[in-house]
Structure 1
Amino acid sequence: METPDKSVQLKVFVDKKKKKVMLAEADGDFIDILSSFFTLPLGTIARLSEKHATSKEIKVGSLTSLYESVANLNENHFSYGPDKDLLVNPTNPSASFCQKLKVNLDEKNPITPSATGSQGDVVRFNLSSFIITDDLNVVPATLDTSISLINSLGVENINLLEKRIMHFGLEEFSDLLKWSLLTNNPLTNLVFGGGMPCSSCATNSILRNSDLISSNSDKTMTLKSLVQKSNKKLICAQVENPFVELLFSFLTIPLGAAIHLIKDDSSPSGITNLYNSVSLLGDGKYLNSENVKTMLLCPKVSDDFLRVTDLLPVYEVNKRAGHFLKEKVQFIVFNDLEVIGSPSIATFSKFNTLGVPVGDLEVLEVSFGEQEALLLLKASLTSTSALTDFLNVSRKKPKVEPST
């Protein structure tokens, strides 16, 4: 745990019988750091979950495998040496804002000329008190909102709850970020060490495409996918550079931009509730300016990155096209978005490691466009079997054998 001068306090109220955090109280500094989650590129979140979170056995969807693939991929595959380093440590376009916080989750990123951000604090009244629920709804601790919220939580006597003072440093915030992506009770999981059941875990949510933001691009590609015939589970896909460029671009996208594109309120996780709360705080004039609200809820991909795909509406219109990868080669992408080089005997040996007989495999061709790219981005955040979950809501067709 961080020393007090490098941490912020959170006052937590716990129902000991239910082993559940009912609510918490925090000042503006804590809310500032919570809000900074949305400025972090997904690659940074994957790195934090591996290096700083104490619950390292819990993966952040398929981002963890994707991030590790980039770190392990031979530099010869990249068109320019620093490209790999940028993906492993992606630039935060709001780095200047993060460096003003008492706990900076993106401390590996110095301020760059392309970094933008607020010149002041995020919360207008930095000494104000805020109430946070277990599922990360955040409201100002005014008399009317406090009473309404406590009543909605079914808390009849707050004095019967155990009050704990917790110090949050880098590890604690990294854990909270991870649990906020995976569950709708992140504070309870953090306080009680994880493994607490939730009524609607993000990892079990059903992907839907009705809420996705898309420009309806007609550009598509075709994926050759290996599927286990006995259970229709996708094992891997044989892909070329454009698909891998798309996957690698996920790591450059700030969390706020990703949620803006894929937000689904039908099965909210903690991070979705926090996103909605920040939006309401902005509407209620608790943020410094409309620019701060935009920085948090609709952040841009850093200027350090070129536009490597046309299938994600996250780039500025005038963003120059470019590539992470060098020569055109084939790659294998596994169900959890692990990316390896061209197929080899070692690839087939992995099927046996997974307990999949080669005879139980069939090839399916999948048409992949912008809607599918957004669905896969969503699956990467919530599932360790992103390709299978994505395919469950995508159009599939059997491989067509060439005519003779």
Structure 2
Amino acid sequence: MSAANAKTVIKLKLLIDKIQNRVVFAESGKDFVDVLFSFLTLPLGNIIKLIRKQQPSIAIGCLDSLYESIENLDLQHFESEACKSMLLNPRNSSVAECKKLKLNVDDTETTKYYLCSVCSVSFLSTSRNSKCYCGKLMNHEITVQGLGDQTGGDMEGVFVRGTATFLITDDLQVMPMSTTCSFAELKNFGVGDTNILEEKTIDVELEQVETLLSFLLISKTPLSGTFLSKTLGAGTLWLQQENVTQTRNMVQTANNYKEITIKFTVRKSNQKALFAEAGDDFIDFIFSMLTFPFGSM
């Protein structure tokens, strides 16, 4: 295979329990751990977009319904075309770092800057066709020295130090790798007989990284699910959900609290909300959730 056609891979060493067909732990250098940590920087909207394309059977709570609502809403319901675009394709604030990853699932484009070609005020926007303070659209692309994404071959790692080696458990706990893993330490992972263990080194490709992102949303054993060919069936986000018990919500702003009134239509038999009527403040709030980084959850 020529260098031009060679796939980028990351070497990962697995210690496998052959009886239970599970990953006891994995050993890796900086490249794989940087990929894992980068998941926390992804906006929720980008995760939904990726998983809908790769694993459409997975439901990420109600977030995929929220994403679909934005897709289906006509542009007349948004302040501008840019507002809809930035919700469906939210920008990762760590895009410069993620572009240095050996395997990067984030498809955020290189940052571009726009200003209003009519107004003399020099405000910048990273979203084309955002509304300027003068009411016109900011659609004149410019180059800003010193603000471009910094990519390049940093061999010292992206989020972790380049010389470190790490141990990663099946539920993605990451810790520094000791020089030896004693039998007593293996017992902490539920292994009583070392004869059932198998060591295996694999090549991790981008497709497996995307599968791993899907598994970590619905499983407590994402390494086993991804690398031991376990079926990724239909599932839902395992984060605990709570029932809505109030008809008035308080949304905190920078300096005070703003009250948002929501009108519910409730089924009397079981006291469950059928639907709600809300103004633009509440809709803006729930749409903004798609821009939250996954780590902020």
Give the structure-1-normalised TM-score.
0.54
| Residues 173-217 of structure 1: per-residue CA shift (max 9 Å, x gap) | 2222232233322222323123599xxx96363659xxxxx7895
**How much identity, in percent, do the aligned residues show?**
35
C-alpha separation between the residues in 1 aligned to 2:70 and 2:148? Answer: 24
C-alpha separation between the residues in 1 aligned to 2:256 and 2:149? Answer: 29
CA contact 1:225–1:236 (8 Å) conserved in 2: yes
CA shift in 2, pair 1:202/1:108, >3 Å: closer
- Correspondent of 1:224 among 260, 263, 276: 263
C-alpha separation between the residues in 2 aligned to 1:137 and 1:171? Answer: 22
1:136 matched to which residue of 2?
172
Unaligned runs of 5+ in 2: 114-146, 244-251
Decide which structure has greater helix share. Answer: 1
SS at match of 2:38: helix
Q: Does structure 1 residue 233 correspond to structure 2 residue 235?
A: no
Shift of 1:101: 0.7
SS at match of 2:16: strand
Aligned residues: 246
CA shift in 2, pair 1:158/1:25, >3 Å: farther
Decide which structure has greater strand share. Answer: 2
SS at match of 1:237: strand
Q: Does structure 1 residue 205 correspond to structure 2 residue 240?
A: yes
2:191 matched to which residue of 1?
155
2:232 matched to which residue of 1?
194
C-alpha separation between the residues in 2 aligned to 1:72 and 1:239? Answer: 18
Shift of 1:170: 3.1
- Correspondent of 1:175 among 200, 203, 211: 211
* RMSD over aligned Cα atoms: 3.2
1:30 matched to which residue of 2?
32
| Residues 212-252 of structure 1: per-residue CA shift (max 9 Å, x gap) | xx789532212122333333333321221111101111111
C-alpha separation between the residues in 2 aligned to 1:19 and 1:252? Answer: 37
C-alpha separation between the residues in 2 aligned to 1:217 and 1:175? Answer: 42
1:78 matched to which residue of 2?
78
SS at match of 2:231: coil
1:57 matched to which residue of 2?
57
Shift of 1:74: 0.8
**Within 5 Å, which residues of 2 pair with 1:238-387?**
238-256=277-295, 258-259=296-297
CA contact 2:75–2:81 (8 Å) conserved in 1: yes
Shift of 1:146: 6.8
2:96 matched to which residue of 1?
96
CA contact 1:184–1:202 (8 Å) conserved in 2: no
| Residues 277-336 of structure 1: per-residue CA shift (max 9 Å, x gap) | xxxxxxxxxxxxxxxxxxxxxxxxxxxxxxxxxxxxxxxxxxxxxxxxxxxxxxxxxxxx
Unaligned runs of 5+ in 1: 209-213, 260-404
Give the structure-2-normalised TM-score.
0.71
Q: Does structure 1 residue 9 correspond to structure 2 residue 11?
A: yes
C-alpha separation between the residues in 1 aligned to 2:172 and 2:211? Answer: 14
C-alpha separation between the residues in 1 aligned to 2:288 and 2:181? Answer: 40
Amino acid of the structure 2 residue aligned with 1:88: L
C-alpha separation between the residues in 2 aligned to 1:160 and 1:77? Answer: 60
C-alpha separation between the residues in 1 aligned to 2:256 and 2:181? Answer: 43
Larger radius of gyration between Structure 1 and Structure 2: 2
CA shift in 2, pair 1:59/1:103, >3 Å: same
Shift of 1:48: 1.1
C-alpha separation between the residues in 1 aligned to 2:148 and 2:185? Answer: 37
SS at match of 1:110: coil
CA contact 2:263–2:276 (8 Å) conserved in 1: yes
C-alpha separation between the residues in 1 aligned to 2:256 and 2:291? Answer: 21
